[in-house]
Amino acid sequence: MSFRSDIEKILAITSASVTDTNQIMNDEHARYQTYTDSLSLASPSEEHELIVAVLRDPDSVMAEAAVANHIDRQASILCSRSSYSAWTAQVVDLMSQHNFLIRRMEEWKLFKEIMEVGIGNVDALRNASDWLQRKVSQDAVSRAVLEKLAEIGRTKRVRNLASSRLKHSN
């Protein structure tokens, strides 16, 4: 498929009212917005086709950012660990060539596990990205989780945030 046909397909699938395909093709900011809007509006049957088309974009960094935004949105919508894991199982193959996206999905799974049951695998949390450690530090309510991050957090920011939240939870 050509870049133009991918853009036209994305616009058609989501019934976008954009009329200037050339503008979208030549403006990565407009494309990013189109991609994120389209992915947020896609039905489950359209989602796979859209993800594949977005990831074919010549600007791979922007395309991955748009799909990462979709992953984050799905993680917030699919609240339980099991529902999110079921969704990732359906789309993981579409992203197999995109290590950042695979890692983001895996880290959301770890986040959901920690929020639901606590830290099962300390090494997984220790080796998690700064993004995940910050997110857990901000959102965790478990004293055990915050204590562990205050101890093993990779950055001073994570350790301080976890420590501060522990002090203010008393």
Q: What is the pLDDT along the chain (170 residues), one digit of tens a residue?
A: 799 899 988 888 776 666 678 888 999 999 999 999 999 989 888 999 999 999 999 999 999 999 999 999 999 999 899 999 999 999 999 999 999 999 999 999 999 999 999 998 899 999 999 999 999 999 999 999 999 999 999 999 999 999 999 998 86
> What separation in angstroms does the CA of 75 have from each of 70, 78, 157?
9, 5, 24
- What tokens does 96 get? 């197999």
pLDDT of 139: 95
**Domain-embedded: residue 111:** no
**Domain-embedded: residue 152:** yes
79 plus 128 within the same structural domain: no
pLDDT (tens digit per residue) in 124-147: 999 999 999 999 999 999 999 999
122 plus 76 within the same structural domain: no
69 plus 152 within the same structural domain: no
Last residue of a domain, one of 64, 96, 128: 96
64 plus 14 within the same structural domain: yes
6 plus 82 within the same structural domain: yes
DSSP alpha helices (H): ranges in 14-59? Answer: 21-26, 28-41, 44-55
The helix/strand/coil state of 59 is coil
79 plus 161 within the same structural domain: no
**Domain-embedded: residue 37:** yes
137 plus 69 within the same structural domain: no
CB neighbours of 89 closer than 8 A, spacing ≥ 6? none
Cβ atoms of residues 34 and 6 within 8 Å: no
CB neighbours of 43 closer than 8 A, spacing ≥ 6? none
Cβ atoms of residues 46 and 54 within 8 Å: no
**Domain-embedded: residue 106:** no
Q: What is the rounded CA–CA span in Å between residue 6 and residue 91?
A: 19
Range of the domain at 59: 1-96
Domain count, the chain: 2
Cβ atoms of residues 67 and 96 within 8 Å: no
**Domain-embedded: residue 113:** no
**Domain-embedded: residue 52:** yes
pLDDT (tens digit per residue) in 5-26: 999 888 887 766 666 788 889 9
5 plus 85 within the same structural domain: yes
pTM over 0.95: no
- What tokens does 146 get? 């915050």
pLDDT of 17: 63
Cβ atoms of residues 15 and 1 within 8 Å: no
